[in-house]
Structure 1
C-alpha cells in the first residue's frame, strides 16, 4: 500500500529544487484562480448567503498566495531533510509525505472549480474535508521528518479549517445549490 501511495508523488525534481517546490503550487493556484475568473468569483461570492465571520473576497488571493508559497517551502524542506537521512524509516516517511503532498495539492486545486465553476457546494465541502484530513496527516508525517516543515504547514491547516467552515456554511445557507441563488441583475423565479 505504501509503495502505491508513493507512486502518486510529483517527480523528485519538484521537491529537490526550492524554486520549483515554491513556484509549482503558486503557479497552479494562480492558474486555477484565473481560470475561474476572479471578477466573476468575487461577484458570485457576494451574492451568496454567507456564514458569520466570512472575510471580504479580496482577502482570499493574498492569503492563498502566502499559503501556497509556505506549502511549497515545506515540501522542499521536508524532502531535502528526509530523503538524505540514514534512517530508512525517515526516507519512507519522506516519500509518503511527497505523495500526500501531491494528493492534497490536487484536492486543493479541485476546490475552486467545484465551488465557483460548477457551483457544487456539497462536492466542494466533501473535497475540502478530504483536503483537511490529508493535510492533517501530511503534517503529522512531516513532523517525524522535519519539525520546521510541519510547523510551516500549521497556518495552512488553520486556514483550511476556517475554509471548511465557510464552504459548509455557505452550502448550507444556500440550500446546497448555488444555481438557485439569483445572480446580480438576473430575475428571480
Structure 2
C-alpha cells in the first residue's frame, strides 16, 4: 500500500468539491494538449508508422475530456465517502492514501504527451503509461470498498489506458523507438518543422 504524502497530494478541498474535482483534470489535460502543440502533434501522429486499430486524431480530444471528467468525479465520490465522519479509521486512512495515488496518476498522465510528442521519447512514454495503468488499476482496487461507483467510473479509463499502452508501445516498436528519425531530412526533401505546421 502507498503512503499518504500531504506535500505532493492535491488538497482535500479540491477532492471534496465536485465541480473543482472534475474541472482540475479536464483543465490540466487540455492545457497540456495545447502547450504541447495540438497541430504539430496531429501531424507527427499521422507521419508515424502505426499499429492496427489506430483511431483518427480528432477522437483523442473528446475521449480524454470525458475520461478526465470521469476520473475527477470518481475522485470526488471516493474522497467524499471515504473521509466521512461515519467512516472507520481504516477507511479514512485508505482514502488519504488514494488521494496521494490519484495525484501521482494525474502527474503520470499529464507528463505522457510531452514525453511522446515534445521530447519524442516513445520508450520513456511507454514506461510512463505502463506505470499509469498500474497505478490506476491499484487505485480502482482501493476505491471499490470505499465507493463502488467511483471504482466503476475508472473502468472506461482503464480500458482506454490499455488501448493507449498498446498504441504507444506499437508506435515505438514500429518506428525503432526513435521518433526523431521521422523528422530527419530525407534526400531531396525538406525536414518538417512541427512548430510551423
TM range (shorter): over 0.9
Superposed counterparts of 1:72-83, under 5 Å: 72-83=72-83
Give the match for residue 55 of structure 1.
55
Q: Is the 8 A contact 1:32 1:109 kept in 2?
A: yes
* Stretches of structure 1 lacking an aligned partner (at least 5 in a row): none
Q: Is the 8 A contact 2:81 2:87 kept in 1?
A: no
2:46, 2:2 → 1: CA distance? 43
1:42, 1:7 → 2: CA distance? 36
Q: Is the 8 A contact 1:47 1:183 kept in 2?
A: no
1:125-168: CA deviation from partner (whole Å, max 9, x where unpaired): 00000000000000000012100000001000000000000000
Aligned Cα root-mean-square deviation (Å): 1.8
Give the match for residue 190 of structure 2.
186
Give the match for residue 195 of structure 2.
none
1:17 aligns with 2:20: no
1:71 aligns with 2:71: yes
Classify the secondary structure of the residue corresponding to 2:128. helix
1:107-130: CA deviation from partner (whole Å, max 9, x where unpaired): 000000000010000010000000
1:145 aligns with 2:149: no
1:61, 1:78 → 2: CA distance? 26
Classify the secondary structure of the residue corresponding to 1:52. coil
1:98 aligns with 2:77: no
Give the match for residue 37 of structure 1.
37
Q: By how many angstroms is 1:89 displaced?
A: 1.1
Could you say if the C-alpha distance between residues 36 and 139 of structure 1 is closer, same or farther in structure 2, counting changes exceeding 3 Å? Answer: same
Q: By how many angstroms is 1:86 displaced?
A: 2.8
2:90, 2:60 → 1: CA distance? 38
Q: Is the 8 A contact 1:10 1:102 kept in 2?
A: yes
Give the match for residue 177 of structure 2.
176
Q: Larger deviation: 86-95 or 54-63?
A: 86-95
Q: By how many angstroms is 1:39 displaced?
A: 0.6
Q: Is the 8 A contact 2:2 2:101 kept in 1?
A: no
2:183, 2:14 → 1: CA distance? 43
Give the match for residue 164 of structure 2.
163
Classify the secondary structure of the residue corresponding to 1:119. coil
